[in-house]
Amino acid sequence: MSENSNPSHIAIIMDGNGRWAKKQGLPRLSGHKAGMESLKKIVRYCGDNNIENLTVYAFSTENWKRSEEEVSGIFKILVIYLDREIKELHRRGVRLRILGDYSIIPAPAREAVENAIELTKDNKGLSFNIALNYGGRDDILRAAKSIAEDVKEGKLDASDLSEELISSRLYTGDIPDPELIIRTSGELRLSNFLLWQSAYSEFYFTDELWPDFTEDSLKAAINEYKTRKRNFGGR
Ligand code: FPP
């Protein structure tokens, strides 16, 4: 059996920050801060190891249901992360992209994100994609609406619809589908993440909580992926 090569696109559901904090007797936001430290290491590792795309689920369309304190805290942590990391990521050729409608996130986070996108837009290294106010169903719905508008305006014919056309209208547009999706913290769900894009992804679940996830944890996931046989419905 031939081995897979390294995945070119890894997507991660960073779960377990709250439980990590609880275990230490700390407030939930301390868990998210520790999660930021894990993310820092993983982004740098991917950038240094020729991974072309890393997508992380940072804030879902459902996460607005959390307390106001936790929601605003997560966006503050995002600002701190970008303040501390973006120059170094830029130096390493990382391009930052956002998947999701970030027009409605708090202004300081929106501005930090816009500046980071602008600064890194011509970089050719790792594409680091943060899913923010992202939902897989919302992604597909928006693509469907944009195609319907074009059909209504006569720019497209209904017979032009194809899987490629739908893929191109998703937030991931020109980003290839993830070969490997990792979820931490022992939960075995996709939770509305990359629904269309995950059709043929390999899934890797680990009991480790996200703040405990290290470069070695990622290497273990990649090694496991490499042993799997993928046949995309063929033989
Ligand atoms: C899931 O853990 C985590 C989140 C909803 C937020 C992820 C945020 C970070 C890792 C902070 C840094 C992010 C960026 C982009 C800098 P949970 O709170 O659902 O954990 P639980 O299930 O144990 O309660």
What does the pLDDT look like over 179-206, one tens digit per residue? 999 999 999 999 999 999 999 999 999 9
Strand, coil or helix: 17: helix
Token pair in block for residue 72: 């605003």
Question: 2: pLDDT confidence band, cut at 50, 70 and 90?
Answer: low
Among the residues of the chain, which ranges form H helices?
Answer: 17-23, 28-48, 68-91, 107-120, 136-152, 163-169, 215-227
Could you tell me the end-to-end alpha-carbon distance of the chain, in angstroms, rounded to an integer?
13
Minimal-distance CA residue to ligand 1 atom 1 = 15
Atom of ligand 1 nearest to the CA of 36: 12
Q: Which fold has domain 9-140+178-226?
A: Undecaprenyl pyrophosphate synthetase (3.40.1180)
- Ligand 1 centre distance from Cα of residue 220 (Å): 22
Its pTM stands at: 0.96
Q: Where are the domains of the chain?
A: 9-140+178-226
- Ligand 1 centre distance from Cα of residue 64 (Å): 13
Ligand 1 site: residues with CB under 6 angstroms?
A: 14-19, 32, 35-36, 39, 58, 63, 74, 77-78, 81, 130, 185
- Ligand 1 centre distance from Cα of residue 31 (Å): 8
Q: What pLDDT sits at residue 88?
A: 96
